[in-house]
A and B are shown apart, each in its own frame.
Chain A
Amino acid sequence: MTTTASSRRAVVAGLLTTGSLAASRAWSNPIQPETVTIGFITTLSTPAGYIGEDERDAFNLAIAEGGGKLGGVPVRLDIEDDALKPANAKQAADRMVQGGIRLFTGVNFSNVLAAVVPSVLASGGTYVSLNPGPSTFAGERCHPNYFVTSYQNDAFHEASGLAADELAYKKVVLLAPNYQAGRDALEGFKRTYKGTVAGEIYTKLDQTDFSVELARVRALAPDAIYQFHPGGAGINFAKQYANAGLGRTVPMLIPSFSMDARMVAATGDAANGIYASAIWTSEVDNPASVAFVTAFRKAYSRTPTTYAQQSYDTARLIGSALEAVNGDLRKQDQFRNALRAAKFVSVRGKFAFGPNQHPVQDYYLTRFEKNGAGEIVQNIVRKIASDRGDAYVSKCTMN
């Protein structure tokens, strides 16, 4: 009885001593910040695995360029593969939260994000999204500890609507898979487009053959189509569109992430001539972007996708905020304010946060075309929107 009591006292004493030691170390040497661990849950397997790879690699590139640091603070990534399953991601997030991690990023898909963000925010942690920006978290459920550095989900589609007007397409046919993001995409497009929508065609989410839909497009004979089919379905769509001879007669407009650098490689010439709305392409000519593309190609022997760019920007944004608090995430208000200020050089050019902590940025019309070397690249045609925010910002009341 007494022995266990005394040993318990000894343990408590020991804990107190080490605790105070750690505290005194932090006090005596504020210049050397402790290593910050960032929870990085992303999709590394499944056919969409290449997207997570690009995001992870670009984030690591930013850390490597800082010599293992972001904003002068040593950083360690805790990487977990969610295999595109929200349940996996939630489990990983809960484990990381219990392990004391307070800063998260990495998730690529909106449905996975919806599983991770509540866990993180409930624990008082901060989430910085590098790709998805669902409308729910942009409007009523916006949160002081939740940031999106890429775009609000509808923004690309709204930009595409503007682009269709600029290209003088009077009559378009819209195609998207029949699920939330697909319907949101077409709503976003219609929000800004002024011409006539000749048809809205919904496909099955896992559809791989589009022969029936292509025949309907041919019959409707529009000036152009706007289609949103991410990943493998997008590759199939573009290939079948070109093979059916429609590519020559009806131009195709897409959001940039429906045809990334990897998909261009997979579709071959089928991507030639496609228009896309974008916030950045590998051909953007500013010093930060050129340096990023060069470094990424050197490190990984491939051209970065738009996902890689967004991840790289996210890493540098986090770096700027870590620098402001010298890696001490307990100074939450200061850390949050530093994130909100977004004092970093963005690869995409201008970058700022709106009141709902989603980007206010420029959008471009781009075109996939062959360069001098015969490779298909995504060239910028012109800017179509300046300092554009999103449609949900007015619904966000943050306190």
Chain B
Amino acid sequence: MLLFVEQILNGLQYGAMLFMLASGLTLIFGIMGVINLTHGCFYMVGAYCAAFAVMSTGSFLVGILAALAGAGLYAVMVEVAVVQWLYRRDHLYQVLATLGLILFTNEAVSMIFGRRPPLLDIPPLLQGSVAILPGLDYPVMRLAFIGVGALVAVGLWLLVNHTRIGMLIRAGADDREMVDALGVDIRRLYTLVFGLGGLLCGLAGVMAAPLLAIEIGMGERVLITTFVVIVIGGVGSVRGALVGALLVGMVDSLGRAYLPQVLQGLLPASVADTLSAGLVSASIYVLMAAVLLVRPLGLLPARA
């Protein structure tokens, strides 16, 4: 029972991270129709900026600000310099250009920050673990991660549903010509959304950095999972991203926890270990296939 609760928390924490990455990606994809493979790079840039800010100032707070600023500004730069010229082009051009940007960013980051990966410690306030149930200690840092994820979800809900910018974002998703005709500078709005996506990646980066490893190419690793999340959730909707992220987080953590045990009960140990390791890796793709069979547009698409 305790194991189950702990795995649910692990799933929530992974889901929170996926949500921060997927919400920005789904806005960019759903509203502007841009396939942006550079999205994972914003996460890496955020983590690197945080690590070096913390190393030079010693303050985690400065690290958070550096991550947000670094990733957000880099996203705006990418949009202004490259992506905005591709809105009317075919998706193939966008894939090629943003793939090139991945290579460029990886090389640039290793030139600026060096080939040796930096290390970021968990800030003293969030170190160690705390008893949430009798007999169940859970790391404070991971609880904080879940909390930040919840805050982001509430914040985005408020932004999209209860502000003028949110209204324009929703309107832009439906009909960009109409919004343009109403006298709204859609170009600026797009830049803003792109920056917001980068900002959320930076937040995920600074939260993940002390828990996971900071390295060149860390963005590409999560990028595919992030795309799986928005495909499951439905392209373009923040609610879909939230549901998709939580689903993927849970399937991943519960699958990794229970699948090997179930299979070990059914099959000889040597077969069960290899088979379960393979199945666990494939579980989220199986989930995606199952969802698409029933709902080809994802669970909560923006334009149902």
Contacts and interface: CB of A to CB of B under 8 A. Distances in A.
B139 A244 contact: yes
A238 to B, nearest CB: 12
Interface in B1-41: 2-3, 6-7, 10, 13-14
B152 interface: no
Given A50-B116, A178-B277, A243-B128, A218 B213 contact: no
Interface residues of B, number: 38
Nearest to B117: A47
Contacts of A215: 3, 6-7, 10, 257
Contacts of B127: 243
B127 to A, nearest CB: 7
Interface stretch (A204-212, A356-364, A377-385): A204-212
A236 B212 CA distance: 6
Interface string A119-130: 000000000000
What DSSP secondary structure best describes chain A's contact surface?
Answer: helix
B257 A266 contact: no
Given A218-B3, A219-B2, A178 B274 contact: yes
B270 to A, nearest CB: 9
A273 to B, nearest CB: 16
B139 A49 contact: no
Nearest to A200: B273
A30 B228 CA distance: 70
A240 to B, nearest CB: 7
B261 to A, nearest CB: 8
B253 interface: yes
B160 interface: no
A243 B122 contact: yes
Contacts of B138: 244
B221 interface: yes
A216 interface: yes
A190 to B, nearest CB: 11
20 contacts: A47-B117, A202-B260, A202-B273, A208-B213, A211-B142, A218-B2, A219-B3, A232-B213, A233-B213, A235-B119, A236-B212, A243-B122, A243-B128, A243-B129, A243-B141, A244-B129, A244-B137, A245-B128, A245-B129, A268-B121
B39 to A, nearest CB: 19
A212 B253 contact: yes
Contacts of A46: 115
Contacts of A47: 116-117, 213, 215
A208 B221 CA distance: 10
B260 A201 contact: yes
Q: List 7 A-B pairs, minimum CB-CB distance, nearest first.
A: A219-B3, A208-B212, A215-B6, A178-B277, A212-B256, A211-B10, A245-B129
Given A215-B10, A236-B213, A49 B116 contact: yes
B116 A209 contact: no
B9 to A, nearest CB: 8
A167 B269 CA distance: 26
B277 A212 contact: no
Contact of B256 (A49, A50, A213, A268): A213
A235 B252 CA distance: 22
Contacts of A32: none
A262 to B, nearest CB: 10
Nearest to A216: B257
A212 B253 CA distance: 6
Contacts of B139: 211, 240, 243-245
A200 B270 CA distance: 10
B10 A49 contact: no
Contacts of A178: 273-274, 277
B281 interface: yes
B211 A212 contact: no
B211 to A, nearest CB: 7
A46 B2 CA distance: 39
Nearest to B135: A218
Contact of B213 (A45, A235, A245, A268): A235
Contact of A206 (B2, B221, B253): B221
B184 to A, nearest CB: 41
B228 to A, nearest CB: 16
Contacts of B14: 209, 211
